[in-house]
């Protein structure tokens, strides 16, 4: 039976609150049955099977921007492009457009040798860093390779402020952002109250206690509404809308 990806084209990834002046935020990642997103010492794992990987690429296609933390860049050296065939898309779909890669990099550690900076990379990254740790030579070297470096304030935990990030993305015409990870970024977004859509790939494997947990601290995590589950080969994708409970 052919895999049905219609739910990914039928889901809206637009900001419903037009006064919000921030992009629609989709949080999506792949985890094992024991809640791990990577192996020992962060070893990159291919948890998604072929069908759920296609689903991830459809999600990339449907968003203006794709965001990961610098930990993921250093560990995985990702491309963050859309890799689909015309068979994966509804008839009459236009040409493939790649999302704008966004990297949260508080200390400007982004490697000059990253795949995202290769001449073959279709969309060069926007790197968000802090003026406190700015190194003007590193910034110049990154920009010479096509990256754009933005300076933003840090929040109380020493991370890039997500509110500041969203204003800058909005001002630069980014109306939807897909957050892929890794662990620290997933936790920050879950805690932030700023996630509009949550799409989780669950792969039928156990990684074990040495793996990297998707979420360490669930204290500030949301509950969920509008939940649906979609079989994708051997995997399942959960789709839901986070609901944040007011805490005193
Ligand atoms: N299975 C999956 O779907 C995915 C798995 N991964 C895995 O995740 C691991 C990487 O995760 P982490 O080491 O936690 O790195 P990460 O990718 O979450 O980056 C964390 C770093 O981002 C920077 N940062 C700046 N602002 C931040 C903010 N507001 N919130 C959080 N971080 C901010 C900080 O320097 C922080 O150290 C790798 O092992 C990778 O393979 C990554 C993406 C998806
Ligand atoms: N959907 C999904 N399933 C997995 O099993 C994964 N390991 C990931 N990882 C994410 O994809 C990035 C690699 O992207 P490219 O193939 O290089 O474009 C990786 O860095 C994680 O963000 N995702």
At 247 the pLDDT is 56
ipTM over 0.95: yes
- Which residues are near ligand 1 (CB < 6 Å)? 29-30, 37-38, 42, 44, 47, 68-72, 75-76, 104, 106, 159-160, 162, 180-185, 188, 212
171 is a domain residue: yes
Domains in the chain, number = 1
12 is a domain residue: no
Residue with tokens 């900076």: 117
How many C-beta atoms lie closer than 10 Å to residue 228's C-beta? 10
* Best mutation site among 102, 180, 182 for ligand 1 pocket (most ligand atoms within 8 Å of CB): 182
4 is a domain residue: no
pLDDT tens for 167-204 read 999 999 999 999 999 999 999 999 999 999 999 999 99
90 is a domain residue: no
Report the pLDDT averaged over residues 93-117. 96
91 is a domain residue: no
Q: Residue 131 and residue 147: Cα distance in Å, rounded?
A: 17
At 133 the pLDDT is 78
Can you give the C-alpha Rg of the chain in angstroms? 18
- Its domain, for residue 183, covers 20-84+96-243
6 is a domain residue: no
Using the atom order of ligand 2, give the atom closest to the CA of residue 78: 17
Residue 190: CATH number of its domain: 3.40.430.10
Using the atom order of ligand 1, give the atom closest to the CA of residue 43: 39
At 221 the pLDDT is 86
pLDDT tens for 69-83 read 999 999 999 999 999
Q: Three-state DSSP class for 154?
A: strand
At 74 the pLDDT is 98
Residue with CA at minimum distance from ligand 1 atom 6: 182
248 is a domain residue: no
Strand partners for 241: 225
3 is a domain residue: no
């Amino acid at each position: 039976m052919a895999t049905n990806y219609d739910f990914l084209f039928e889901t809206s990834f637009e900001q419903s609150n037009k006064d919000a002046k921030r992009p629609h935020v989709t949080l999506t990642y792949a985890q094992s049955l024991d809640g791990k997103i990577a192996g020992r010492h962060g070893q990159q794992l291919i948890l998604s099977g072929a069908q759920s990987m296609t689903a991830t690429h459809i999600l990339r296609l449907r968003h203006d921007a794709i965001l990961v933390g610098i930990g993921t860049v250093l560990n995985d050296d990702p491309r963050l492009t859309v890799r689909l065939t015309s068979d994966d898309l509804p008839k009459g779909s236009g040409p493939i457009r790649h999302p704008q890669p966004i990297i949260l990099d508080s200390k400007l550690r982004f490697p000059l040798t990253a795949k995202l900076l290769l001449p073959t990379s279709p969309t060069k990254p926007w790197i968000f860093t802090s003026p406190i740790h700015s190194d003007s030579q590193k910034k110049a070297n990154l920009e010479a390779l096509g990256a754009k470096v933005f300076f933003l304030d840090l929040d109380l935990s020493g991370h890039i402020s997500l509110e500041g990030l969203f204003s800058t993305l909005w001002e630069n015409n980014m109306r939807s952002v897909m957050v892929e990870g890794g662990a620290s970024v997933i936790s920050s977004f879950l805690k932030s109250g700023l996630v509009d859509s949550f799409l989780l790939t669950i792969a039928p494997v156990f990684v074990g206690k040495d793996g990297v947990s998707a979420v360490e601290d669930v204290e500030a995590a949301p509950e969920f509404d509008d939940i649906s589950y979609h079989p994708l080969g051997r995997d399942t994708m959960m789709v839901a809308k986070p609901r944040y409970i007011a805490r005193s």
